[in-house]
Amino acid sequence: MSYLGIDLGTSGLRALLLSEDGAVIGVAEQSYTSQHARPGWSEQDPAQWTDALDAAASDLRSRFPAFADLKGVGVAGHMHGATLIDPAGTVIRPCILWNDTRSHAEAKYLDQCDHVRAMSCNIVFPGFTAPKLLWVKHHEPENFARVAKVLLPAAFLGFYLTGDFVADMSDSAGTSWLDVRARDWSPELLAAGDMRADQMPRLVEGSHAAGTLRPEIAKRWGVGEDAIVAAGAGDNAAAACGIGALNDGEAFLSLGTSGVLLAARDTCRPAPASALHTFCHAVPDRWYQMGVMLSATDSLNWLASITGSSAPALTQALGDDLRPPGGTMFLPYLSGERTPHNDADIRGSFTGLAVGTDVADLTRAVLEGVAFGLRDSLEAFEATGTELTRLIAIGGGAQSTYWLKLIATVLNVTLERPRDGEFGAAMGAARLAVMARTGAASEDVLVKPEISEAIAPVQDVKDQFDAAYETFKAAYPKIKSAQSANRGTT
Q: How far apart are the C-alpha atoms of 427 and 277, rounded to whole Å? A: 23
Pairing of strands 390-394, 349-351: unpaired
- Which amino acid belongs to residue 180? V
Packing angle of the helix pair 129-139, 104-111 (nearest 10 deg): 120
Q: Which candidate in 235, 298, 343, 376 is catalytic?
A: 235
User: Contact 210/231 with Cβ under 8 angstroms?
Assistant: yes
User: Contact 74/435 with Cβ under 8 angstroms?
Assistant: no
Packing angle of the helix pair 46-63, 153-162 (nearest 10 deg): 60
- The answer to whether 235 is a known catalytic residue is yes
Q: Would you call 25 helix, strand, or coil by DSSP?
A: strand
Residues near 304 by beta carbon (within 8 Å), at least 6 away in sequence: 310, 311, 313, 314
User: Contact 17/429 with Cβ under 8 angstroms?
Assistant: no
For the chain, the 3-state helix, strand and coil shares in percent, each to the nearest 5, are 40, 25, 35
* HEC per residue, 365-433: HHHHHHHHHHHHHHHHHHHCCCCCCEEEEECHHHHCHHHHHHHHHHHCCEEEEECCCCCCHHHHHHHHH
Give the DSSP per-residue string, 211-269: EE--HHHHHHHT--TT-EEE--EEHHHHHHHHHT--STT-EEEEESSSEEEEEEESS--
Q: How far apart are the C-alpha atoms of 476 and 481, rounded to whole Å? A: 9
Query: Residue 126 to residues 9, 110, 294: CA-CA distances in angstroms?
Result: 19, 10, 12
Q: How far apart are the C-alpha atoms of 460 and 323, rounded to whole Å? A: 10
* Side-chain-facing half-sphere of 69: CA atoms under 13 Å: 9
The backbone torsions φ and ψ at residue 387, rounded to the nearest 5 degrees and listed phi first, read -110, 120
Catalytic residues: 235
